[in-house]
Structure 1
Amino acid sequence: MKKFLSMLSVAILGGAITLGSYKLFLEKDYIISEQNTPVNTFTTSFNTPPPAALDEEGFTNAANKTVHAVVHVKNTTIAQSSPNSVFDFFYGNGGTQRAQVGTGSGVIISPDGYIVTNNHVVDNASELEVTLNNNKSYKATLVGTDPNSDIALIKIDADEKLPYLAFGDSDNTQIGEWVLAVGNPFNLTSTVTAGIISAKARDLNPNDDKVQSFIQTDAAVNPGNSGGALVNTAGDLIGINTAITSQTGNYVGYSFAVPSNIAKKIVDDILEYGNVQKGILGITGSGLNSYIAEELGIQNTEGVYVAGVEEESGADKAGLTKGDVIKKIDNIKISKFADLTGYLSSKRPNDKVNVTYERDGDTKTTSVTLLKNNTYVIAGLGLKVKNLSKADQKAFKTDSGVKITDEANYYQNQNLDLKGKVIISINNNPVNSIEDVKSISNDASGYQRNLLIVINQKGEKERYLL
């Protein structure tokens, strides 16, 4: 009996210990976990607010505002077909002429019918036709183009005031900002796609002399969208859709638009001057990264390195020198060369900009007056020339000619030094200014012999057969 009571006491004691342990360690933890752990545990822990809902009403309003101002552009060109037979070839019948039709988009920018589009949409057109969102069609006339930026201006004469878009400020756009692309891909009129700004000041051809500065988005853009509108959720025109990068020719994830500040400046120039007015800083240079910085022996990996300053340019007069690193222009941060050229593309000669730069570890700011480009590259000869300054005219004792400011590596490899000399004749054609060079150089080619007569620094004439 005593043994039974001892075993019963042990059992009761063990059960009490077990129950107490459960209450103390297990049941208490479970209750705390259930009561005090909210559903959004990670959000609370990292102090991250829940993602904001997309402003669908903003998208709808922007789309409704934009589609009526975006038009369908049809470009008809006349192409010469190949000779149909050997008799056509020998007797001068070059085949038959046939019409080729291309299509794109455009954006109405004024109620009286001015439309901005891409140069490649209207290039070589013999006839232009514009169809509005209400299906009315009009003949269009070409006002002007700028192939370098791929912007063109056309006009229609409508019998009513037209809906139009106002240019927004593309400099104020932000990476990650929602945008809409509106156009006519594959002849599907009034198509709206959405995306975000993926990058700014994007240069698609970094090895090309013509530096570009596109807004990059992931809004779907396809053939036919060219010349259409890129707008923000307020419906402001912030870009003209221009290009995609694709191996198939169709959209694969990225599209590119000319910033509205550049497009507006080009349109204004065409209307006011008949051509594009370009204001230049007057430097040569390059963007920076770790490898370039190491080669140059500098610490900066962002900005534009000044490799040279053109004589009597705005940069020269403002005191910029080789070795300076440009970090900002006005309120625009300069991280790469396309940032610089993109901002300057919205400026004209005689505009003033504040340039912030670093020199020997010190940060300085100076005001630079942009000047008209007085230089020209003779591509066929690999020479860069500029008009003579008064100091050049006095030094070389001549009122005519152009000064060679740079030359291709070919000349150095051949132990020829033309830099700093003055060209007074090309292929027996007298040269007075770069305007003469532009017309003469059309006949100058790297595939034929070219005769240059120059004046050297001693005032002596030299002849070069290149």
Structure 2
Amino acid sequence: MSRPSVRLLACSVLIGLAAAGGVQAQTPAVAPASSLPDFTGIVQQNAAAVVHVEAKYNGRAQPRLLPGMPGMPGGPGADSQAEILRRFFGMPPMPSPEEQKHTSLGSGFIISSDGYILTNNHVVDHADEVTVRLQDRRTLTAKVVGTDPQYDIALLKVNVNGKLPAVRIGDSQSLKPGQWVLAIGSPFGFDYTVTQGIVSAIGRNLGSGDQPYTSFIQTDVPINRGNSGGPLFNLQGEVVGINSQIYSNTGGYLGVAFSIPIDVAMNAVEQLKTKGFVTRGQLGVMVQGVSDDMVKVFKLDRGAGAVVTQVTPGSGADKAGIQAGDIILKYDGETIDQPGDLPPLVGLTKPGTRVPVEVLRDGRHETLQVTVGTAPRDPDAVSPDGTAPAQTSGSQALGLTVGPLSADDRKQMGLRAGEGVQVTDISGEAAAQAGLRAGDVILRVNQHAVGSVAEFRAATKDVKAGSTVLLLVRRGEQSSFIGITVPKGK
């Protein structure tokens, strides 16, 4: 709409000059149609590699939304915030209510001619049967090779005679705000719907507890329910992202959409193919943003970086000498402007890698060499045999990791010596849904008092899938019992 306004203004100026100085008025030039992108070639080349995904639940499981976040129904702050982050569980256009309960629709795309397909984990999560429909209307049964809930990635495989058309994989790291992008998918079950827009922002951290390791691509491409798992193309016809979420207070598209960078997705794909699960690096710190008060007290130029609030004992950060109060400015050469910048970079680092971390401490810049550890595996991930990992060892089954509690921490909390262990990481949905947080102190497991990691492991070693464990948790000055129901594997 801006171009007509500019042309009218230019026309007025030329007429004014003609009247004042005899300059001959000229008709303003019209921008040639070739200056606007033509998406028809991209669609023709890639539509056949896009598939319609249908997941069925035969009464034993249901499509799951991930834990509520601020503003989401059931999440903290649900009544106080209008905007909610929604994933796209699509439903068939005209099914019966009973069918709606047991079916979800989404999109996907073929990444190799031998039948590997990428989609979102939340499209097929815990499904009993997954099928894909090709552009030529063939419907094929798909095997779930593996999933990673934290990246929201699912790798499927179909078996066919001959080769299938596949997309070309692009480079999401080269994307810039303002670039044209294109989506192909099945919103509301309408197959092969094409929508376009621009990249609105890159490196967008959504602050959601279930996907801290993803820096999303934000676009204004219209996508809706059923677009989940579909490809996002650049003008070269290469896939640069997987359409995943929208920010909305209605459940429909309101101009803001998010896609998982294809570089992140393909990193997960290679791991799922080779070892059946995804490993991520772990630094061993808890961080927060640099507040205005910190800028004043520490005499900083600006509020950039991530302030370390806690270091996990025995972690790579601890061994390298990172301390609470340090401000992390760079990780492996990448600038950290805000806390959300750090987890995606650490997550993509191969465990065991030695990485330089630049910190600001007492007004001095120091670079420490940190050996990155391994983050706990997601207990909801699906392995190559189509089952969830074994969940028989306490902290893994409960979806949390604990560490020792220092004498100083016990003193501050009014605890006795040998009382309590501290939650250092929340890795699973069960613990997150129960409301546990990193930093909580666990005092009892069912009827057993725990004061060390070994005691906690002993108290949880016989935890079975489907059972409920009652924890006595101290947070600040208050203690309360919290029940965690261990998720069942398929």
TM-score range, shorter chain: 0.5 to 0.7
Residue 430 of structure 1 is matched in structure 2 by: 458
Residue 49 of structure 2 is matched in structure 1 by: 69
Distance between the aligned counterparts of 2:32 and 2:481, measured in 1?
A: 70
- Once the two structures are TM-superposed, the CA of residue 199 in structure 1 deviates from its matched residue by 1.8
Residue 270 of structure 1 is matched in structure 2 by: 272
Q: Is the 8 A contact 2:48 2:135 kept in 1?
A: yes
Normalised to the residue count of structure 1, the TM-score between the two structures is 0.68
Change (3 A) 1:357 1:33: farther
Q: Is the 8 A contact 2:146 2:272 kept in 1?
A: yes
Distance between the aligned counterparts of 2:161 and 2:120, measured in 1?
A: 25
Distance between the aligned counterparts of 1:180 and 1:289, measured in 2?
A: 38
Determine which of 38, 56, 75 is the counterpart of 2:37.
56
Change (3 A) 1:465 1:150: closer
Output the amino acid matched with 2:342.
L
Q: Is the 8 A contact 1:280 1:373 kept in 2?
A: yes
Distance between the aligned counterparts of 1:289 and 1:465, measured in 2?
A: 33
Determine which of 149, 167, 170 is the counterpart of 1:168.
170
Q: Is the 8 A contact 1:375 1:384 kept in 2?
A: no
Residue 81 of structure 2 is matched in structure 1 by: none
Give the length in aligned residue pairs.
Answer: 374
Determine which of 242, 247, 250 is the counterpart of 1:248.
250
Output the amino acid matched with 1:358.
L
- Once the two structures are TM-superposed, the CA of residue 217 in structure 1 deviates from its matched residue by 0.7
Q: Which ranges of structure 2 fall in alignment gaps of 5 or more residues? A: 1-16, 62-97, 379-393, 406-419, 425-436, 444-449, 474-479, 483-490
The higher radius of gyration belongs to: 1
Distance between the aligned counterparts of 2:279 and 2:440, measured in 1?
A: 32
Cα displacement string for residues 84-142 of structure 1 (whole angstroms, at most 9, x for unaligned residues): xxxxxxxxxxxxx9782221001111111111111111122221111112222211111
Moved more, 311-320 or 102-111: 311-320
Percent sequence identity over matched residues?
35
Q: Is the 8 A contact 2:305 2:327 kept in 1?
A: yes
- Once the two structures are TM-superposed, the CA of residue 321 in structure 1 deviates from its matched residue by 2.8
Determine which of 327, 336, 339 is the counterpart of 2:338.
336
- Where relative contact order (Cα < 8 A, 6+ residues apart) is larger, the structure is 2
Q: Is the 8 A contact 1:74 1:103 kept in 2?
A: yes
Determine which of 103, 109, 112 is the counterpart of 1:110.
112
- Once the two structures are TM-superposed, the CA of residue 302 in structure 1 deviates from its matched residue by 1.7
Output the amino acid matched with 1:275.
F
Residue 258 of structure 1 is matched in structure 2 by: 260
Q: Is the 8 A contact 1:69 1:165 kept in 2?
A: yes
Q: Which ranges of structure 1 fall in alignment gaps of 5 or more residues? A: 1-28, 41-49, 82-96, 389-401, 414-419, 451-463
- Once the two structures are TM-superposed, the CA of residue 374 in structure 1 deviates from its matched residue by 6.2
Output the amino acid matched with 2:149.
P
Residue 402 of structure 2 is matched in structure 1 by: 385
Distance between the aligned counterparts of 2:329 and 2:33, measured in 1?
A: 34
Distance between the aligned counterparts of 1:353 and 1:228, measured in 2?
A: 34
Moved more, 324-333 or 174-183: 324-333
Query: Equivalences for 1:394-405 in 2 at 5 Å?
Result: 404=422
Residue 225 of structure 2 is matched in structure 1 by: 223
Are 1:177 and 2:187 matched, yes or no? no
Change (3 A) 1:465 1:56: closer
Distance between the aligned counterparts of 1:374 and 1:222, measured in 2?
A: 33
Q: Is the 8 A contact 1:381 1:445 kept in 2?
A: no
Change (3 A) 1:338 1:156: same
Query: Equivalences for 1:149-228 in 2 at 5 Å?
Result: 149-205=151-207, 208=209, 210-211=211-212, 212-228=214-230
Q: Is the 8 A contact 1:76 1:125 kept in 2?
A: yes
Q: Specify the SS of the correspondent of 2:342.
A: helix
Q: Specify the SS of the correspondent of 1:62.
A: helix
Change (3 A) 1:215 1:35: same
- Once the two structures are TM-superposed, the CA of residue 279 in structure 1 deviates from its matched residue by 0.9
Q: Specify the SS of the correspondent of 2:58.
A: strand
Change (3 A) 1:387 1:154: farther
- Once the two structures are TM-superposed, the CA of residue 180 in structure 1 deviates from its matched residue by 1.1
Change (3 A) 1:157 1:382: closer
- Once the two structures are TM-superposed, the CA of residue 250 in structure 1 deviates from its matched residue by 1.3
Are 1:128 and 2:109 matched, yes or no? no
Normalised to the residue count of structure 2, the TM-score between the two structures is 0.65
Change (3 A) 1:305 1:189: same
